Structure 1
C-alpha cells in the first residue's frame, strides 16, 4: 500500500473519531484496500449501506450508497432506467445505477493529489449521498409501485 494512501486512511479514521462518527473499518485481504461502512435507515425509509473505499495503490476515494431502493421484477425496467437517466442528468457529482441484484445504488469518486487529502470532504460527500438517497427515495418508490 502506498504511504500516501496509508496517511489518508489514518487521517480519515482520526476525522471520524474526533467527530464521534461511527463507521466500521474493513480491510480486503486480497488487495489491501480499506473501506469504512455504516448501515442506516433514512428519514424517508430507505435502508442503505454507505461506504467510503480507499484503494491500496491510488489516493482516490470511491463513495457508495448501496440499496437505495429494491426494484421488483414486475417493475418496468424502461421506467426505472428513464428515472435513473433523469437523476444522472440532474446531479453532476453522483451516479445512480441499477445493479445486478435489481437495487438502485448511488456512487461518486474523489481524487486527491498528494498531500491534499481532505477527510472532511470525503465525509461531506458521503453525507451528500445519504441526503440524495433520502430525497429521491419517495420518487423512486412511486415509479416502482406504479
Structure 2
C-alpha cells in the first residue's frame, strides 16, 4: 500500500471513520456510501495509486439517463465543467459520473481528501435539479 493510502487509513482510524476498502496490485480503494438528500444513495470511491502523485475521487454512474437525452445531458455537462474548476462531470455509458482528481507532491493531507468528498457531495446535491430538468 502506498504512503498516502496508509496515511489516509491512519487518519480514518483516529477519526473513528469506517469505510469499505479494497487493495489491488497498484492501488487502494476506499468506498464512501452515502444517501444524499435530493439525489439518493450513491457510492464514492477514493482511489489511491502507488505513485502517491494524486488521488481520484469518483462517483461512477450515479444518474442514468435514456439515450435520447444524451445530447442535452452533454450540453449541461459541458456548461457545468466550464463553471466548476475542481469537480468534473463525465458521461459514462448513458449515465452521469462526477469526479475530482487531487494532485499531491510530498504534501498529502487526509483532510483535503475529506474536504473534496464533501465538495463532490455538495455539488451533486446542488446540480441534481439541473440534471432532472434536462431529463423531463
TM-score of the superposed pair, with normalisation by structure 2: 0.90
1:122 deviates by: 1.0
1:119 deviates by: 0.6
Q: Which contiguous aligned blocks of 4+ residues in structure 1 show a shift greater than 3 angstroms?
A: none
Quote the RMSD (CA, aligned, Å).
1.6
Cα distance in 2 between the residues matched to 1:67 and 1:39: 14
Select the residue among 13, 17, 39 that pairs with 2:13: 17
Report the equivalent of 2:122: 131
Please give the residue correspondences for 1:1-146 in structure 2 after superposition, counting only pairs within 5 Å.
6-28=2-24, 31-73=25-67, 75-100=68-93, 102-114=94-106, 116-144=107-135, 146=136
Higher relative contact order (CA 8 A, sep 6+): 1
- Check whether the contact 1:50–1:64 (CA below 8 A) recurs between aligned residues: yes
More strand by share: 2
- For structure 2, which runs of at least 5 residues remain unmatched after alignment? none
- For structure 1, which runs of at least 5 residues remain unmatched after alignment? none
TM-score of the superposed pair, with normalisation by structure 1: 0.85
The secondary structure found in structure 1 opposite 2:105 is: coil
1:67 deviates by: 2.9
